[in-house]
Amino acid sequence: MTNIRLGRGLDVLIPLKNQAPAAAPTGFIDIDIESIRENPHQPRKQFDPKEIASLAESIQNFGVLEPVLICPRPSTGGYTLIAGERRLRAAKAAGLKTIPAIVKNFAAKESALVSLTENVQRKDLNAVELGAAVERMSREFEMTHEEIGAFLGMSRPRITNLLRLLDLPPQIKEYLAAGHLNEGQARALLGIENEEERSRLAKEIAEDGRLMTVRDLERRAKKPRRKDADLVAVEQGLEKSLATQVKIRFNGKKKSGWISIRFTNLEHFENLHDRLKKSVSR
């Protein structure tokens, strides 16, 4: 797991004091825009064209007021953008040839954490993007939900709820990412096991503008509250132990069900397999 201290966000990863080159007493240098590549670890996938256009107009009038953060690419030349993609896009739209930048060396993990933390602190990510980024922190950096929450300034239940959103079907996640559903509605939809019913309700809310409260959706789920609470407690305990998503489905009539443990690649699967073997052998 990464050894970055928790609870301080960007202050841990970007100590900007005394970082500027000697030739740049203002703390940054102007960099050719075309030499900067977008960050492959950027958690934000959606950018509002109107926001970019508005920022581009501001840049034309006042310039770029805050430098972007970039990392050198020694093997291929140029730079990788670490933080400030919206500013970079707007600067290009404004016709700028150069952009003020702070140049700093980052390892791959640091780069991903900086990009995520910047977006979280600016509240730039939608719930689906944030859930995917949190899942990546858990998987690649082997951070527990408590550690991720402490790093991002969120509670453990908040982290768990974000991860649960990834279990939604693609179409419902698109509704959520676009703002046609709120998080409460999306979580309530997870409680509806009938996929057709769940998709129909999501479409009614998102596309038809039907007003439906979280309470309305919870009633549709038709699950006894106490059973739900017990299952959630077990799921959360397993997720805490395994540092990944766990889903339990229980059929009260048949007294049977199944447990699903999420993994994203073979290495992650083998890691989970080792953890489970150690737990069983104790």
The DSSP symbol for 5 reads P
Q: Which of 85, 183, 218, 235 is catalytic?
A: 85
Cβ contacts of 125-129, under 8 Å, gap ≥ 24:
125/43, 125/44, 126/46, 126/176, 126/177, 126/179, 127/162, 127/165, 127/176, 127/177, 127/183, 127/186, 128/165, 128/166, 128/173, 128/176, 128/177, 129/43, 129/44, 129/45, 129/46, 129/177
Beta strands at 256-261 and 79-83: parallel, antiparallel or unpaired: unpaired
In 3D space, the residue among 198, 39, 33 whose CA is nearest the CA of residue 111 turns out to be 39
Tokens (6 digits) for 42:
């950027």
Q: What does the alpha-carbon distance between residue 66 and residue 85 come to, in Å, rounded to a whole number?
A: 12
Q: What does the alpha-carbon distance between residue 44 and residue 85 come to, in Å, rounded to a whole number?
A: 9
Confirm if 188 and 168 have CB atoms less than 8 A apart. no
* Catalytic residue flag (residue 267): no
- Give the DSSP H/E element, type plus range, for residue 249: strand 246-251
Q: At what angle do helices 195-206 and 170-177 cross, to 10 degrees?
A: 20
Can you state the percent helix, strand and coil of the chain, rounding each to 5?
50, 10, 35
- Give the DSSP H/E element, type plus range, for residue 261: strand 256-261
Which of the residues are catalytic?
85
